[in-house]
A and B are shown apart, each in its own frame.
Chain A
Amino acid sequence: MTIPEQGSDTDQLHNQIIEQIVELQREFYFENKGKETERRRRLRDIIERATSGKVV
């Protein structure tokens, strides 16, 4: 996943990233409470995948 430069595309991509982040939060909220380090590590994975192609 890469970060497009155009505004609307960027918005769309941000929506997708936020969806992934919220899904991650939901998973940890219901099933893996108290595992913040693990949760943040997986959040970094999401961010790194999103920025792997282009710089925002």
Chain B
Amino acid sequence: MWIEKISLKDFRCFFGEHEIEFSQDPKKNVTLIHAENGVGKTTLLNALLWCFYGDTTAKFEKRDDLVNYDARAVGREQAYVEVLFEHNDKRYRSRRYTKRGSGDREFTIMRLDDGHLFTLPNPDAFINTVIPRGMAGHFLFDGEHAEVFLGEDNRSSIRKAVQDILGCSLIKTAISDLADTATYYRKQMPTSKASASLDVISSRIDTLTTQIATAMSARGDMLGDIERIEQQIADIDDKLRNSAAARQLQTRRDRAMTELSRARQRAKEAQDEVLRWLGDNGRYLVSTKITELAMDHLNQQDVKGKLPSPYNEEFVTDLLEMEKCICGADLKLGTQAHDAVASLLHKAANATMRSRIGKVRAQLSQLRTERLKAPGRLEAANTRFANASQDISRLEADLQEISEQLAGINFDEIATREIRRNELRVEANRKREQIGSLDRGILLSESEKAAAERDLRKLAAEDAGARVFVGRYTLCETLKARLERELVEEERIARSVLRKSINSILERTSRKAFRLQMTDDYSISLVNDAGTQIPKTTGENQLLGLAFTAALVEFAKLRRNAEDYRLLRGTVAPLVLDSPFGQLDDEYRKTAAQYVPEMAGQVILMVSTSQASGGVLEALHGRIGEEYVLIRHNKDPREDRTPEVKQFNGKDVETTQFDAEYDGSSFFRVTR
């Protein structure tokens, strides 16, 4: 179904006739309606529902009071809503009037063929084939009440939603009718010789049936209680996780402090080593030039044969004093031989000089060796220092981060929370024990009921009159049990499809890495990758509500050509979203708004100014096909009130008007 246009006449806050057209452009599939609170968003949503089914949402106040008060005041007692729509390539006009006289037709649907109008004989049946009534409510998302749907104790609402979209209304009524009919036959058994016993057994079966139903209901309530407790525990766990994180942080801090102390010690040692090295080797570094020159000079002298000295001074002097050479020649003063030996004194050196030169050479050699060794030792010390400094920086940053995280934790509440958590655990375990006890009771009652039914059949077999009724009774019970089993299996498949779909939507829209868990008894929770339940914030609850609605719409579309005769077919219908972003923060709003056009073929989105903020309009850019503002009219004089003017697509619109002809609302088109 695609809705072309809705017209309202004297319907609730709409005095006189008003109409809007909805976008049918598949690319610009969003019709955006701006409306502040109390201006008529919910009325518009309910007008659609009422036109098709004569019904409104449970939250719609004064549901039977539909005619506009000002219209009544001028003598008009009937309101109507008309919707022009397309379904399976055919156009229809649906119109519903409020009741007036007994002869009026309240609801009509006409098919528009080549300019001719054909009235459909059974409009209720037809509209139920277009969108089954049970499914319709799920195409209307009321953001202000979504948290109720997905809040605590929500299992029955979720189960109903899944069953509605699954189209199992027929199976459900069949099961209910078969249960009722079975009881009818059991009570119809005629009076006979065995009737007294039959009556007793029949009463016993009634009692057991009631006992089982009561126990099942109590079991359901307890499951709901446990679910609430688990949610509270998850909430506390989240806070305690902060506390646990505090403990972890403190451990981390202790470890970091120890590491930091060690790193600082290493840095100091490395620094000392550098200083020591400088003390030990500085002189080699600063004397490099002198050392080189001195060594060069000594080497030159060495080459020239001057060093080491070839002659001992004391020895030459002794020879000259003795005037006798070691070869036996006379060294008398004035002789050539004396002069030759005396000339050796020029090259001779005494012991002190030789010792000094030897020491200088040794020192210079050491200087050279140490200088060659110097860079390696210094480099090693410098590397150790750099590593230690790096560790210090890292550890200091860690400590700063730990400190900031610790600053955000309230340690005083930890103990209280821990105590409350333990109490809740005890309570949940007690409830689980009670459920166990109920389960045993249910099993016993069912077993006793089965035995009673066997007795009943046995007794009835002795009585021809009763036998017929037992046969009918048994058939009803057999068929009922089979349909119940089939319904459970269909629901299991539906849950699996919806779960997958919701998780895929959450993956696209949520900034947290969590996924939805839907148990067989329709308990919904959000869990992280480790499977730990995490608490739902109000915003996440609303996001979950949107994801759930989108998944239902998708599932309905998937089932639009379903062949199973036991189930109603799914459908394609416009999705009406009323205030879907109210509880979301800016980031979630933007992500959700980006996803809105994907939620259905045709989307009608109603938002207030504040809900349209935070990047919503930017996110919807290029996807809005029609845009309207709902304007409030007041008969009251303006007096000192400041005009309320807002801009929509460059158009100034006075959203609240005074001195008006009527009290109510009207549409103003602001499509770009």
> Is the Cβ of A55 less than 8 Å from the Cβ of B468?
yes
Q: Which has the most chain A C-beta neighbours within 10 Å: B181, B467, B468?
A: B181
Chain B residues, Cβ within 8 Å of A18: 174, 479, 482-483, 566
Interface residues of B in 458-486 (CB under 8 A from A): 467-468, 470-472, 474-476, 478-479, 482-483
User: Residue B565 contacts which of A19, A44, A47 (CB distance < 8 angstroms)?
Assistant: A19
Bound state CA distance, A25 and B176, in angstroms?
11
Contact with B along A27-39 (1 / 0, CB 8 A): 0111101000001
> Is the Cβ of A44 less than 8 Å from the Cβ of B184?
yes
> Is the Cβ of B169 less than 8 Å from the Cβ of A14?
no
> Is the Cβ of B470 less than 8 Å from the Cβ of A55?
yes
Bound state CA distance, A50 and B472, in angstroms?
8
> Is the Cβ of B177 less than 8 Å from the Cβ of A43?
yes
> Is the Cβ of A56 less than 8 Å from the Cβ of B177?
no
With contact pairs A44-B181, A50-B475 given, residues A25 and B174 touching in the complex (Cβ less than 8 Å): yes
> Is the Cβ of B128 less than 8 Å from the Cβ of A29?
yes
Contact with A along B177-200 (1 / 0, CB 8 A): 110110011000000000000000
> Is the Cβ of B171 less than 8 Å from the Cβ of A22?
yes
Bound state CA distance, A51 and B185, in angstroms?
12
With contact pairs A39-B177, A40-B177, A40-B181 given, residues A30 and B128 touching in the complex (Cβ less than 8 Å): yes
> Is the Cβ of A51 less than 8 Å from the Cβ of B173?
no
Chain A residues, Cβ within 8 Å of B180: 40
Closest to A13 in B: B475
Nearest CB in chain A: distance from B185 CB, A: 8
Nearest CB in chain B: distance from A41 CB, A: 10
Nearest CB in chain A: distance from B570 CB, A: 15
Chain A residues, Cβ within 8 Å of B479: 14, 17-18, 21
Q: B419 contacts the other chain (Cβ, under 8 Å)?
A: no
> Is the Cβ of B173 less than 8 Å from the Cβ of A56?
no
* B: number of interface residues (CB 8 Å): 31
Total contacts A-B at CB 8 Å: 78
Nearest CB in chain B: distance from A42 CB, A: 10
Q: A5 contacts the other chain (Cβ, under 8 Å)?
A: no
Nearest CB in chain A: distance from B562 CB, A: 14
With contact pairs A30-B129, A55-B471, A56-B471 given, residues A43 and B170 touching in the complex (Cβ less than 8 Å): no
> Is the Cβ of B475 less than 8 Å from the Cβ of A31?
no
> Is the Cβ of A29 less than 8 Å from the Cβ of B173?
yes
Bound state CA distance, A33 and B122, in angstroms?
12
Q: B340 contacts the other chain (Cβ, under 8 Å)?
A: no
Q: B398 contacts the other chain (Cβ, under 8 Å)?
A: no
Q: A9 contacts the other chain (Cβ, under 8 Å)?
A: no
Bound state CA distance, A54 and B493, in angstroms?
37
Q: B391 contacts the other chain (Cβ, under 8 Å)?
A: no
Nearest CB in chain A: distance from B122 CB, A: 6
> Is the Cβ of A29 less than 8 Å from the Cβ of B178?
no
Q: B124 contacts the other chain (Cβ, under 8 Å)?
A: yes
Bound state CA distance, A48 and B469, in angstroms?
9
> Is the Cβ of A43 less than 8 Å from the Cβ of B471?
no
With contact pairs A43-B177, A47-B181, A51-B471 given, residues A29 and B476 touching in the complex (Cβ less than 8 Å): no
With contact pairs A40-B181, A44-B181, A51-B468 given, residues A22 and B174 touching in the complex (Cβ less than 8 Å): yes
Closest to B457 in A: A55
Bound state CA distance, A48 and B184, in angstroms?
13
Interface residues of B in 407-461 (CB under 8 A from A): none
With contact pairs A18-B483, A43-B181, A55-B470 given, residues A25 and B170 touching in the complex (Cβ less than 8 Å): yes
Nearest CB in chain B: distance from A40 CB, A: 5
Bound state CA distance, A39 and B178, in angstroms?
11
Bound state CA distance, A12 and B312, in angstroms?
136
Chain A residues in the interface with B (C-beta under 8 A)? 3, 14, 17-19, 21-23, 25-26, 28-31, 33, 39-40, 43-44, 47-48, 50-51, 54-56
6 sample A-B contacts, Cβ–Cβ < 8 Å, listed by A number = A14-B482, A25-B174, A39-B177, A40-B184, A43-B177, A51-B472
Given contacts A25-B177, A29-B128, A56-B478, 11 further A-B pairs with CB under 8 A are: A14-B482, A17-B475, A21-B174, A22-B174, A25-B171, A39-B173, A40-B181, A47-B476, A51-B471, A54-B471, A55-B474
